[in-house]
Amino acid sequence: MVADSQAIQTRQLSKVYPGFFKSQQVPALTELNLRVDQGQIFGLLGPNGSGKTTTIKLLLGLINPTSGDALVMGQPAGDQETRRRIGYLPEESYLYRFLNARQTLDFYARLFNMNRAQRRRAVDYYLDFVGLDPSVRGRRIGTYSKGQTRRVALAQALLNNPDLIIMDEPTSGLDPVGMLEIKNMIMRLKEAGKTVLLSSHQLADVEDVCDRLVILYRGRIELEGALRDLLEKKDVFQLSARNVSEALQAKLTQIAEQEGAVEILTGRARVRLEDLFKELVARKRSGEPR
Amino acid sequence: MFGLLQQLGPKLAGAGIALGTVYHPPSQHHYVSLFTDVVMVLLILAFVLTAFRDIARLGSGLSRAWAIGRVTIAEAWNARMWAVPLVWFAVCVLLGVLIVRGYEPSGVVRVYMTIFLRAQALILLVYLGILACVTLPRERERHTLVTTGSKPISRLELLLGKVIGLSAAGAIMLLIMMILTWGYMNVLDLKIRHDAQVLYAMQKNSYDKVQRRMPPDTGVKYLSRHGMLQAQNFVSGNLSIAGYVNYLTNPPSRLLKGGSSEILYFEFPSLPATEYYRPMFNFEFGVVHALPSTKPVTIDVTLVQRSNPMNTQEATLTLNAQGQVFWMPKNPTAFFSYGNPQTGQIYNPGPVVVKVTCPNFGVYLDIGNGLRPPNETSCMAVSLDTNRTPHHSGMVAPRANPVITGFKNNGKQEIVGPSIRHPQIKPEVASWDFPKVDQQQIPIGPHGNFTVHMVISVDKQSNEARAPVAQIVAYNTSTPRDRTVQSVYVNEKRITTIKLPSTLLEAGDLIINLRSEVPGHWFKVKDNSMIIMQPPSSFVWNLFKSEAIILCEIVLIISIGVTASTALGWPVAMLTAMVAYILGNLFHFVQSLFQSGGLELFDYVQDNRMKHVWYYQIGSFLTNVMVHILWVTVHLMPDFTRYDPLYFIVRSKDMPFEIVFLDIIWTLVCILPTLAIGYLLLRKQELA
C-alpha cells in the first residue's frame, strides 16, 4: 500500500530487453526501489544507458516490466484513469509533423475528453505559457526549429494541468534563455504543488531546481538523497563579501590559521557563465543600454 | 449426465452450424462450419474477457477514438489522398472514351458505370489497404505512439481510431468520387437525350412526309424525355411452372407433358449423416392420354446431388398400369449418406434432385403438388432409416410444388405452341405468380388499369409469315374464375405492354398465364419477362447504395490491414491483408473445387492399384491434409465475393435497401472477430 503523500513508488522494478538468444538480452533496470513524494521535484540522473528513460516508460505503462511493480499516484503504472493526472514530455519531441501547433494540442486535448471551449482555452493558454511565437502557430510542425518543437511538446505535457509531470531532458534543444524559462516554470509548478520527475544530463538544471535525486548507473541506484544533503560539505565554511581590502583578507586568513583551520583558499569571486548570460539577456530585453 | 450430453450435443452442434451460416453460406462440410464458429466464438469470448474494462469505457472512449481517427485522416490527406479521386477520374474517363465507341446509349451507361465503380473499388482497396498496413508501424517508427500512449487512451480505442479514421477517409474519397460520377453521367445523359431528340424528330418528320412507313419509335421518344439515368423498380413474378396448370382444382392439377422438352424437378432435403444408406424411390403418377394410348409409358430419371452435380445416376423406368414404379439406384454411392471407406466417416451430401422427363408423345403425367399421401405419391424416397426421418415413417418427401421447366436456352425457358399436326394437344403455358401484389406500390391509370410489360422472344418452327400472337389469361388466386383473357400481338424482343384491370391486384396472388396462339410458334421466356412497373427511384440514391457496398468492402480490408499491422511489420502486414483478400475472393471457387472432387483427386480412389504403396499413401495423406487446411483457411476468411456494387446499377434497377443493410450487418459481423484478434495482439504490446 502506497502512502497518499507518495506520487511514485517502485518495488524491485526490473526490465530486461529481450533478445533471440540469452546473450542478446539487455538488462536495462535491476530491482529499482524508488520513492517520490508529492510536491517534490525529483531528479533522475545517470550517464547514457543507465536506465532513466526505461524507468520513465515503465512508470507510464509504455513498456512492461520484467519483474517488480510500480505505483503511480497510488495506482498500478499504466492505469488509464491515472494517466489523466500525468503529463509527459518525452526525450525527443515525438509529434505529428503534418499538424500545426494548434491542431497538435487540440488532438491531445481531445484525448482528455475536453469540450470545444475547454480545448480552445487550453490550447491558447499553454501556447502562450511555453512562449511559442504566435506567427508560427498555424504552420506545420515539420517546419519548426527544434526549440519551437520542444515548446509545443512541453505544452502538450501540461495541457491537462497534471499533478505529476514527467520530463525527460526538458531543456534539450533549447537556448540558455529557454532553459532558464523552463527552470522557472518548473519552480512555478512546484509552487503550485505539482510533482515533477526530471531526467536530465544538464547537471546544472538539476542542481538548480531539484529537491531530491537519484543517480543511476547500469540500471541500479548508486546514490540517492536530498540535494542539499548530497552537495553540502559539512566541514567547509565559505564567506563572501564586497569591498574587502588586501589587508582585511590577510587578517582573516591569519585568524583562520590561528583557530586551526586548514586548506584555506582566498581569492576573487567569479560569476557563472550562465548567470552572466542571463543577466545580459535580461538587460537587453528590458531595453537597458550596454 | 452423459445421456443429457448425448441429447444436447447434436442440438448444440446444429445451433453452431446455423450460426456459421451467418459468417459463410452453409457448407456441406458442417464440421468446417462448426470449427469456424468455434474459432469465432472463442475469439470474441477472449476479447470480451480481456477487454471488458476498455469496452465499458467506450462511452467516452469513442470520442478519443475519433480523435485518433481525425489524425489518421489528416495523415492520409498529407499523403496526397486528395489526388486519388482526380487520378481515378482522369483514368476512368480516358478508358471510357476509348471503350464506349459503337455502343448504344444503354451500353454506354453500363460501360461507364462498370468502369467508374470497379475502378473506385480497386483503387481504394489498394490505397486504403496500404495505408491501413502502414499507419501503426509508421507511428511506431516515428515514436509518436510514445506521446499518444502516455495519454488516457486504451489499446482498443487506438485500434478503433485507426479503423474509424481510415474508413472515414475512404468515405470522403468515395463521396468525392460519387459526385464526380454523378456529374459526369449527367453530362453524358444530356448528350444521349439530345441525340434521341434529334433522332425522334427525324423519324417523325420522315413519317409525316410519308417517306418512311414505320411510325417514330416510342422508345426513342421515351429516351429523349427521361434519359438513361434511372433506377427502375418493378415487381417480377415467379416463373415456377411452365407446364399445363389447372388452378380450379385443389391442389392445382399440374401435368408434365410427354414428348416435350419439359423437365420435372423434385428436390429432396438433406438429412443428418448417421448411417451409410441407399434410398429407394417410389414414383406414382396419374397418367392422362391425349392421343390413342401409348403403352407402356416410360420416364427418364436422373438423380443429382445438388452440391456435386458430377455425382449422378440415370435410369429409364417403365410405369405399370397404375402409373407406379419403384427404383433403387445401382451405384454404390448413396445419395442421402456419403461414406468414406478409408476413414469410415459418414457425410451428409446435401439436397438431392430428381429430374424426370417423359419421352412418350401424347401423354400427360399428373403430379398434383407432389405431396400426396404415400400411397398416391408422385415421388418419395422410401425405406430409409426411421431414426432420420421420423415424420414420414421412413420416407423422405420432396419439397411441395416441384418445378417444371421447359427446354432451357441462354437462361430462357421455351414453351411449345399449338401443334399443327395434333391440334387436340394443348400448348404449353408459362405462368407467372406475382405474390401479394396489392401491397406493392403499382400506379393505376385513369381507366382503372395497370400496365404489365412483357419482353419475350419468338421461335417460329413454322408459320413464319404470321405475326406472333399470345394469349394472356390473368386472374387473382382469390377469385380464380374471374379471368381476364386477352390476345395480343407480340413485339419480338421489344416491350409489349398489356393493360389489365386493377381488380386483379386485390387480395391474393396475381397469376398471368401466357401461351402461343399461332401453331408452330414457340415462346422463350424467363422470370422477368413479365414485369409490373413501379415508380422509378432516384439514380443518385441508387448510386449512393452502390457506393455503400464499396465502402463496406473497404472498411473490411482496412480492419484486416490494421489488425495485421498490430503484430507485423508493414510489408508482411500488406502481404497478409492481400492473402486474406484473395482467399476471401476464392471462397466459392475453392468450395466448388472441394465439392466437385477437383482437389480430392489424390484422395481415396477405389480402383487405384497404387493405393497400397506406402509412398502413395503418405502423399495422398499429405495432400488430403493440405487440401483440408486450405478449405478451413478459406472458410475462416470473410467472403469478399458478396460485395457486388454493380449488379443493379448497370441494369438501371433500384438496389433493394435490404441488400445494403445485410452487407453492412455482415461487414460488422466480420469486423468483430478481426478487431478481436487485433486487440489481443496489441493488448500487451510495448508502445515504446
User: Does the CB of A253 have a partner CB in chain B at under 8 Å?
Assistant: no
Q: How close is the nearest chain A Cα to the Cα of B144, in Å? A: 5
A96 → closest Cβ in B57, B71, B149: B71
Question: Which three three-digit cell numbers place residue B204?
Answer: 417523325
Same domain, A212 and A74: yes
What global pTM score does this model have?
A: 0.76
User: Does the CB of A235 have a partner CB in chain B at under 8 Å?
Assistant: no
User: Does the CB of B71 have a partner CB in chain A at under 8 Å?
Assistant: yes
- Does A132 fall in a domain? yes
Same domain, A42 and A146: yes
What is the interface size between A and B, counted as CB pairs within 8 Å?
A: 74
Rounded CA-CA distance B289/B363 in Å is 5
Which of A173-187, B94-108, B619-633 has the least mean pLDDT?
A: B619-633
Residues of chain B neighbouring A61 (CB-CB closer than 8 A): 149
Residue A243 is predicted with a pLDDT of 85
Count structural domains, chain A. 2
- Does A240 fall in a domain? no
Residue at a domain's end among A231, A255, A272: A231
Same domain, A227 and A250: no
- Burial (CB < 10 A; 0-12, 13-18, 19+), residue B90, is exposed
Most confident of A151-155, A268-272, B683-687: A151-155
Rounded CA-CA distance B667/B662 in Å is 8
Residue B456 makes CB contacts below 8 A (sequence gap 6+) with: B470, B490, B492, B496, B514, B523, B524, B525, B529
Residues of chain B neighbouring A57 (CB-CB closer than 8 A): 146, 688
Q: How confident is the model at residue B597 (pLDDT cuts 50, 70, 90)?
A: low
User: Does the CB of B63 have a partner CB in chain A at under 8 Å?
Assistant: yes
Look up the domain containing A281 and give its range.
Answer: 246-285
Contacts for B584-590 with beta carbons within 8 Å, 24 or more apart? B584/B634, B584/B637, B584/B638, B584/B639, B584/B640, B584/B641, B585/B640, B585/B641, B586/B634, B587/B24, B587/B634, B587/B635, B587/B637, B587/B639, B587/B640, B587/B641, B588/B639, B588/B641, B590/B630, B590/B631, B590/B634
Q: How close is the nearest chain A Cα to the Cα of B42, in Å? A: 26
Residue B378 pLDDT exceeds 90: no
Most confident of A21-25, A194-198, B606-610: A194-198
Rounded CA-CA distance B666/B22 in Å is 8
In chain A, % of residues over pLDDT 90: 43
Q: Which DSSP state fits B102?
A: T
Cα B489 to chain center, whole Å? 34
- Burial (CB < 10 A; 0-12, 13-18, 19+), residue B501, is middle
Same domain, A186 and A87: yes
Q: Which DSSP state fits A142?
A: G
* Domains, chain B: 7-56 (no CATH), 60-229+537-600+652-688 (no CATH), 243-405 (2.60.120), 424-525 (2.60.120)
Report pLDDT digits (tens) over B425-484.
778 888 888 888 776 778 888 888 998 999 888 988 888 889 899 999 998 888 878 889
Select from A37, A34, A41 the least CA-distant residue to A59: A34
Q: How confident is the model at residue B540 (pLDDT cuts 50, 70, 90)?
A: very high
B74 → closest Cβ in A57, A61, A98: A98
Chosen for mutation from A15, A62, A143 (greatest number of chain B CBs closer than 10 Å) is: A62
Q: How close is the nearest chain A Cα to the Cα of B70, in Å? A: 8
Residue of B nearest to A112 (CA): B152
Select from A49, A60, A85 the least CA-distant residue to A10: A60
Residue B111 in contact with residue B99, Cβ under 8 Å?
yes
Same domain, A172 and A263: no
User: What's the distance, Cα to Cα, between the start and end of chain A in Å?
Assistant: 59
Rounded CA-CA distance B241/B403 in Å is 6
Chosen for mutation from B77, B139, B151, B157 (greatest number of chain A CBs closer than 10 Å) is: B151
Residue of B nearest to A80 (CA): B152
- Does A126 fall in a domain? yes
Cβ distance B63 to A113 less than 8 Å, yes or no, reads yes
Same domain, A89 and A213: yes
Same domain, A158 and A270: no
Residue B30 is predicted with a pLDDT of 63
Residue A86 is predicted with a pLDDT of 94
Same domain, A116 and A23: yes
Beta bridge partners of A225: A213
Residues of chain A neighbouring B62 (CB-CB closer than 8 A): none
Residue B331 is predicted with a pLDDT of 66
Same domain, A166 and A30: yes
Residue A275 is predicted with a pLDDT of 73
- The upper half-sphere exposure of residue B680, i.e. CA atoms within 13 Å in the direction of its Cβ, equals 15
Count of Cβ atoms closer than 10 Å to residue A7 Cβ:
27
Q: Which residue has the higher pLDDT, B104 or B173?
A: B173
User: Does the CB of B153 have a partner CB in chain A at under 8 Å?
Assistant: yes
ipTM summary value: 0.86
Beta bridge partners of A36: A8
Residue B42 makes CB contacts below 8 A (sequence gap 6+) with: none
Cβ distance B143 to A107 less than 8 Å, yes or no, reads no
Residue B20 makes CB contacts below 8 A (sequence gap 6+) with: B26, B27, B30, B33, B34, B36, B37
B71 → closest Cβ in A94, A107, A112: A107
User: Does the CB of B152 have a partner CB in chain A at under 8 Å?
Assistant: yes
Same domain, A227 and A255: no
Residue B663 in contact with residue B642, Cβ under 8 Å?
yes
Residue B16 pLDDT exceeds 50: no
Rounded CA-CA distance B646/A153 in Å is 49
- Does A151 fall in a domain? yes
- Does A241 fall in a domain? no
Residue B388 pLDDT exceeds 80: no
Report pLDDT digits (tens) over B126-137.
999 999 999 999
Cβ distance B147 to A81 less than 8 Å, yes or no, reads no
Strands of B319-448, DSSP E? 324-327, 338-339, 346-347, 352-357, 363-366, 379-382, 403-405, 407-409, 412-415, 430-434
Q: Which residue has the higher pLDDT, B248 or B327?
A: B327
Q: How confident is the model at residue B616 (pLDDT cuts 50, 70, 90)?
A: confident
Residue B478 is predicted with a pLDDT of 84
Residue A170 maps to which CATH number? 3.40.50.300
Residues of chain A neighbouring B154 (CB-CB closer than 8 A): 80
Tell whether omega for the bond before B296 is within 30 degrees of 0, i.e. cis: yes
Same domain, A196 and A260: no
- Does A61 fall in a domain? yes
Residue B120 is predicted with a pLDDT of 95
B152 → closest Cβ in A64, A84, A98: A84
pLDDT, mean of residues A88-93: 91
Cβ distance A98 to B148 less than 8 Å, yes or no, reads no
B75 → closest Cβ in A57, A62, A98: A98
Rounded CA-CA distance B481/B608 in Å is 64
A62 → closest Cβ in B70, B149, B154: B149
Q: Which residue has the higher pLDDT, B554 or A287?
A: B554
Count of Cβ atoms closer than 10 Å to residue B663 Cβ:
21
User: Does the CB of B148 have a partner CB in chain A at under 8 Å?
Assistant: yes
Q: Which residue has the higher pLDDT, B26 or B643?
A: B643
Rounded CA-CA distance A68/A245 in Å is 61
Rounded CA-CA distance B619/B7 in Å is 39
Residue B603 pLDDT exceeds 60: no
Report pLDDT digits (tens) over B643-667.
999 999 988 889 999 999 999 999 9
Select from A33, A90, A31 the least CA-distant residue to A56: A90
- The helix (H) or strand (E) run that includes residue B367 is none
Report pLDDT digits (tens) over A96-115.
999 999 999 999 999 999 99
- Does A53 fall in a domain? yes
In chain B, % of residues over pLDDT 90: 33
User: Does the CB of B74 have a partner CB in chain A at under 8 Å?
Assistant: yes
Residue B341 is predicted with a pLDDT of 66
- Does A130 fall in a domain? yes
Residue B415 is predicted with a pLDDT of 82
Residue B100 pLDDT exceeds 70: yes
Residue B19 pLDDT exceeds 60: no
Rounded CA-CA distance B117/B180 in Å is 12
Report pLDDT digits (tens) over B179-228.
999 999 999 999 999 999 999 999 888 888 877 677 777 778 888 888 88
Q: Is the dihedral of CA B367, B368, B374, B375 positive or negative?
A: negative
In chain A, % of residues over pLDDT 70: 96
User: Please, what is the average pLDDT of chain B?
Assistant: 82
Residue B601 is predicted with a pLDDT of 46
Q: What is the dihedral of CA A136, A140, A142, A148, to 10 degrees?
A: 30
Most confident of A55-59, A203-207, B265-269, B529-533: A55-59
Q: How confident is the model at residue B383 (pLDDT cuts 50, 70, 90)?
A: low
pLDDT, mean of residues B258-263: 80
Same domain, A281 and A173: no
A95 → closest Cβ in B78, B147, B152: B147
Cβ distance A110 to B64 less than 8 Å, yes or no, reads yes
Residues in chain B: 688
- The upper half-sphere exposure of residue A180, i.e. CA atoms within 13 Å in the direction of its Cβ, equals 11
Residue B514 pLDDT exceeds 80: yes
Cβ distance A81 to B151 less than 8 Å, yes or no, reads no
- Burial (CB < 10 A; 0-12, 13-18, 19+), residue B359, is middle
